[in-house]
Structure 1
Amino acid sequence: MLLNHHGAGRVGVTAPAGPIPALDVLTGRPRPTGTTAPSRWSARYSGALVGLDVTAAAAVTGLVLSAHPSPPSAAAPLVWTAGLLVLAWPLLLAGTGAYDERVHGTGSDEYRRVGRAGLLLVALASLVSYAAQLELSRALVVVAVPAVTVLTLAARFAARCQLRRLRARGRCLRRVVLAGRGGAVVELAMRVRRDGYAGLEVVAACVTPESRELVAGALGVPVGGLDDVVDTAVRLGADTVAVTSASETAAEYLRRLSWQLEGSGVELLVAPGLIEVAGPRLHIRPFEGLPLLSVEQPRFEGWGRVLKGCVDRVVAALALLLLSPLLLGLALAVRLDDPGPVLHRQERVGVNGRRFTMLKFRSMVVDAESRLEALQAANGADGLLFKMRADPRVTRVGRWLRRLSLDELPQLVNVLGGSMSLVGPRPPLPREVARYDSSVSRRLLVKPGLTGLWQISGRSDLSWEEAVRLDLRYVENWSLALDALILVKTVRAVLGRSGAY
């Protein structure tokens, strides 16, 4: 996660003519100047959001007026109040920062700001109604405002999906210069490039002298020194500087860099070195004026876990009931395609190292385990896993089941029984767990899942290291909201069939 320290904008290079620019008191060089205006794509995107928000407010208030028992006259308080609501809605959204470029496309801040604007609108409508003694329809306050908020959230989600599609094609990106030690900069750059939806494009790096050659070869971008960050950002038109916490004399360096960037419109971001710790667990806590980064401990029990268990069992029971015709059809297909049992039972390791029997539709021949040793030379995976794209042990129906992940459906029985969860780390084999080190063993602090971050991030295409990293990220940052997001994205991953073989 990156922590914001300054506003974002587009850098402008000082023109040679005109007033003499102010000198930086630290370097003696001209201080960079620029504007804080958003980039062109951001201005267009914000304008589109304003149009969507006004449309949502007008549509809802129009429905409220049309549903009124007696059509009000043009002068009725209900009519002009509805009109004021339409005008006030985008203004309140702007006041809460819902159009800020920093919240476009990623994170939950945008949704929280829309919700805050909705609460303000309810309070404002109630206050105006009471102070002016207006006989407003309750539907306008109690129904219209929540409906406008929900419709706006839906529109923001649709707009975000479109923005991410554009970013995946290399558009609507913010240009970023990375600064810090070589290894940390390369790691951060790889994360930025892998998570393209974040909208950051690495255009240069500024590192320590001994790391320049390594970083230049790894990233393929211009590389300078740590003292060249501001000049590099201005020269390349970057609007963001991201500094890793492994920088030389980090505290003093960051202070000087933030002073140098004042007035430039360049946003300063800091990667705190806690890459796998999510934002909700990170807080800035001031101690007598000294700002410290507080990291909350992950919670593996409590009411949230109880609620998660209840949701798991209810959803699993409903899914088994609704999907029973499909499950019977798949069982028949497996049985007719290859002699042997319909279900494959395999011992896996669950929460706190407890073993359980995991169920799957059988997708391989009956003696698949005995043939494994002969296929080890063709293993396409690193780490502790065995992966083979054209595994000869997979049956015809099994290959189809795997592509659509239908072979996993019997695990709903495991979820109903409590040995698995709908969302969690990948359930490991005992022979894998026997080779875990202390850090990887943290995967066993929560129940394994029917799906998880590994499922929506590439499945079998992931390396062992990447799969472990995703599982540990889930364990450290679990929340009900994250579970819901993973479940939604699982549908897209399954339909896309990426990494399924």
Structure 2
Amino acid sequence: MQQGELVSPLPSERGRLASGAIRRPAIDWEQRYRRTVIVSDTAATAVVVAAIGSFFGARDAANWHEKWGILAFGTELLVLGALAMSRAWAPPTLGQGAEEFRRLGRSLFTAAVVLALGGIALTSRNIKLWIFVAIPAIALITMTERYLLRLWLHKQRKEGQCLRPVLAAGSPATVRDLIARTRKFPHLGWRVEAVCTPDGLGIDGDQLDGVPVVGRLTDVAGHVRRDGYRVVAVTSDPDWSPDGLQRLAWNLEGSDAEMVVAPVLMEVAGPRLHVDAVLGIPLLRVSMPTFSGGRRVVKGVVDRLGAAVLLLLFAPLMMLVGLLVLMDSRGGALYRQRRVGKDGREFTIFKFRTMVVGADAARDALADRNEGAGLLFKLRRDPRVTRVGTVLRRYSLDELPQLFNVLIGSMSLVGPRPPLPEESAAYGPDIRRRLLVKPGLTGLWQISGRSDLPWEEAIRLDLRYVEDWSLALDTVILWKTLRAVLHGQGAY
């Protein structure tokens, strides 16, 4: 067993743990990882500042110590101070979704604003260089190194290392769901090692899906202090009262454990959740999802500018692909199809043709071989797909013409998958919520397995995007799309 690896206690060990034996979880990896991030951020900032100061300062050597040295040193301290003040190095956020990059971006934006105000106050002519060159360069390098470090961390977690030991407390059904999610997504860094239920029993006697049930809900604090769990995950159960949760929070004070309470709205997260104190009562406030307003305007501008830039970059590739499609089989290079967009409005989607002419008419004859989930029609080895079409589908090159749809405003760069009219007609009221936003060229569905996903999971991801949309989430999805396309998982 390597250092940093945690092992769940066997059922036979429950008595020994309960009797007072102290299990010391190896959590050194958290501090090592945090130190690595801090050193990487500091080194990246120092390299950028030194490079800019040396290159441009050499042209004004007489004032180097007076002006350039002060600006370089001040920028370094300002960036690192902003990172610390914004809690961009807080262990709970490192390696955890878009929040890590959101804090990093907020820190660098704050540093840029303070630099600008300082430049105005000091009437410095050189401050623009540090605002518009140094800060963006620091952002590019730090975000890249953070992403590479996260890839390493996720790889370790998939191998069972660098996981935080969790004690889950709640009803067997909700705890069971939590266990399933942590096992399905190990990159999130949780491993449920023990369970407390209202009666101290699990579904399988003294276990719950292979995890030992160590006691009742009233025993949680004692087990945390004795056995060193890092997270206490409280799931819903009628036995949890406000007073009970308050006492648990008090009893956990002084321990290293973080108390996490799962809200009833399991699929609502991110910027829509806010904790407010009203008359001394902590309330979880859920804001309305954003379907219009300033952020949507920004998203629309980014969509059109991004589509225009990508069309220019991919123009040679698209011309080559179109030529290969024409040479491979009879028919045109582009395929047009009606899809359903925002608010149920139909539009024409553009794709490179990957099937033989007349493929739509032959679909009914293949209905008994359908391998698609839910309302989707998919075949892993569809006889209608051409040789070139197989390659285009694997690497999603057939979807490049959809950039024209983004450019004219019928689609977005990121959003739910655009459904066919017959699919949309079969939607229930809940599923129709995915039509509240523009469909996307890529989305959570694209980066999570595409056609390999069960229908329910694909719909859940689309609805999650609708509920929790943010510019930061769009950025993460676009970044992960490249890896999904290169791997080709679920593309057929």
Give the distance between the partners of 1:320 and 1:134, measured in 2 at CA.
42
Say if 1:54 and 1:87, in contact at 8 Å, map to a contact too. no
| 2:185 counterpart of 1:195 | yes
Q: Percent identity over the alignment? A: 46
CA apart distance, 1:292: 0.7
CA apart distance, 1:335: 2.6
| 2:328 counterpart of 1:340 | no
Say if 1:186 and 1:215, in contact at 8 Å, map to a contact too. no
CA apart distance, 1:285: 1.4
Say if 1:361 and 1:410, in contact at 8 Å, map to a contact too. yes
2:444 maps to 453
Say if 1:122 and 1:145, in contact at 8 Å, map to a contact too. no
Give the distance between the partners of 2:137 and 2:343, measured in 1 at CA.
46
CA 1:136–1:382: 2 relative to 1, 3 Å: closer
Counterpart mapping for 1:323-338 below 5 A: 323-338=314-329
| 2:219 counterpart of 1:219 | no
Q: 2:377 aligns with which of 360, 378, 386?
A: 386
What is the letter of the counterpart of residue 349 of structure 1? V
| 2:395 counterpart of 1:407 | no
| 2:32 counterpart of 1:41 | no
1:19 maps to none
Q: 2:259 aligns with which of 264, 268, 281?
A: 268
1:414-443 CA-to-partner distances (Å, cap 9, x unmatched) read 223322222211111122122211100101
Q: 1:285 aligns with which of 273, 276, 282?
A: 276
CA apart distance, 1:394: 1.8
Give the TM-score of the pair, scaled to structure 2. 0.83
Give the TM-score of the pair, scaled to structure 1. 0.81
CA apart distance, 1:85: 6.5
1:377 maps to 368
Say if 1:34 and 1:264, in contact at 8 Å, map to a contact too. no
Q: 1:146 aligns with which of 135, 155, 159?
A: 135
Say if 2:78 and 2:111, in contact at 8 Å, map to a contact too. no
CA 1:267–1:70: 2 relative to 1, 3 Å: same
Say if 1:238 and 1:266, in contact at 8 Å, map to a contact too. yes
CA apart distance, 1:145: 7.0
The SS at the match of 1:441 is helix
Gaps in structure 2 of 5+ consecutive residues: 1-5, 7-17
Give the distance between the partners of 2:242 and 2:296, measured in 1 at CA.
38
2:341 maps to 350
2:235 maps to 244
CA 1:88–1:220: 2 relative to 1, 3 Å: same
CA 1:215–1:291: 2 relative to 1, 3 Å: farther
Say if 2:79 and 2:111, in contact at 8 Å, map to a contact too. no
Give the distance between the partners of 1:217 and 1:398, measured in 2 at CA.
50
| 2:329 counterpart of 1:359 | no
1:430 maps to 421
Counterpart mapping for 1:97-136 below 5 A: 97-111=87-101, 113-114=103-104, 119=110
| 2:250 counterpart of 1:253 | no
Q: 2:491 aligns with which of 480, 492, 500?
A: 500
Give the distance between the partners of 2:345 and 2:413, measured in 1 at CA.
18
Say if 1:348 and 1:358, in contact at 8 Å, map to a contact too. yes
Give the distance between the partners of 2:234 and 2:447, measured in 1 at CA.
29
Point out the more displaced range, 189-198 or 230-239: 230-239
What is the letter of the counterpart of residue 495 of structure 1? L
Give the distance between the partners of 2:183 and 2:438, measured in 1 at CA.
31
Give the distance between the partners of 1:408 and 1:134, measured in 2 at CA.
51
Say if 2:341 and 2:410, in contact at 8 Å, map to a contact too. yes
CA apart distance, 1:142: 5.2
1:23 maps to none
1:268-312 CA-to-partner distances (Å, cap 9, x unmatched) read 111112222122111111112111111110121223323333332
Give the distance between the partners of 2:286 and 2:256, measured in 1 at CA.
30
Say if 2:340 and 2:424, in contact at 8 Å, map to a contact too. yes
Give the distance between the partners of 2:188 and 2:303, measured in 1 at CA.
31
Say if 2:116 and 2:127, in contact at 8 Å, map to a contact too. no
Give the distance between the partners of 2:441 and 2:113, measured in 1 at CA.
41
What is the letter of the counterpart of residue 408 of structure 2? G
CA apart distance, 1:140: 9.0
CA apart distance, 1:214: 6.0
Q: 2:46 aligns with which of 52, 55, 58?
A: 58
Q: CA RMSD in A?
A: 3.8
CA 1:356–1:142: 2 relative to 1, 3 Å: closer
1:436-461 CA-to-partner distances (Å, cap 9, x unmatched) read 11100101111111111100111011
Give the distance between the partners of 1:453 and 1:485, measured in 2 at CA.
10
CA 1:350–1:215: 2 relative to 1, 3 Å: farther
Q: 1:171 aligns with which of 150, 153, 161?
A: 161
Point out the more displaced range, 393-402 or 150-159: 150-159
The SS at the match of 2:384 is coil
Say if 1:122 and 1:141, in contact at 8 Å, map to a contact too. no
What is the letter of the counterpart of residue 53 of structure 1? D
CA 1:364–1:113: 2 relative to 1, 3 Å: closer
CA 1:491–1:229: 2 relative to 1, 3 Å: same
Give the distance between the partners of 1:317 and 1:76, measured in 2 at CA.
45
Give the distance between the partners of 1:308 and 1:92, measured in 2 at CA.
27
Counterpart mapping for 1:454-493 below 5 A: 454-493=445-484
CA 1:249–1:422: 2 relative to 1, 3 Å: same
CA apart distance, 1:212: 1.6
Q: Which has the higher contact order (CA 8 A, sep 6+)?
A: 1
Give the distance between the partners of 1:389 and 1:275, measured in 2 at CA.
33
CA 1:426–1:214: 2 relative to 1, 3 Å: farther
Say if 1:121 and 1:145, in contact at 8 Å, map to a contact too. no
2:13 maps to none
Say if 1:181 and 1:208, in contact at 8 Å, map to a contact too. yes
Point out the more displaced range, 267-276 or 70-79: 70-79
CA 1:113–1:427: 2 relative to 1, 3 Å: closer
What is the letter of the counterpart of residue 178 of structure 1? A
Give the distance between the partners of 1:480 and 1:345, measured in 2 at CA.
30
Counterpart mapping for 1:26-37 below 5 A: none
Say if 1:129 and 1:136, in contact at 8 Å, map to a contact too. no
The SS at the match of 1:319 is helix
Give the distance between the partners of 1:217 and 1:353, measured in 2 at CA.
48
1:469-500 CA-to-partner distances (Å, cap 9, x unmatched) read 01111111222332222222111110111111
The SS at the match of 1:222 is strand
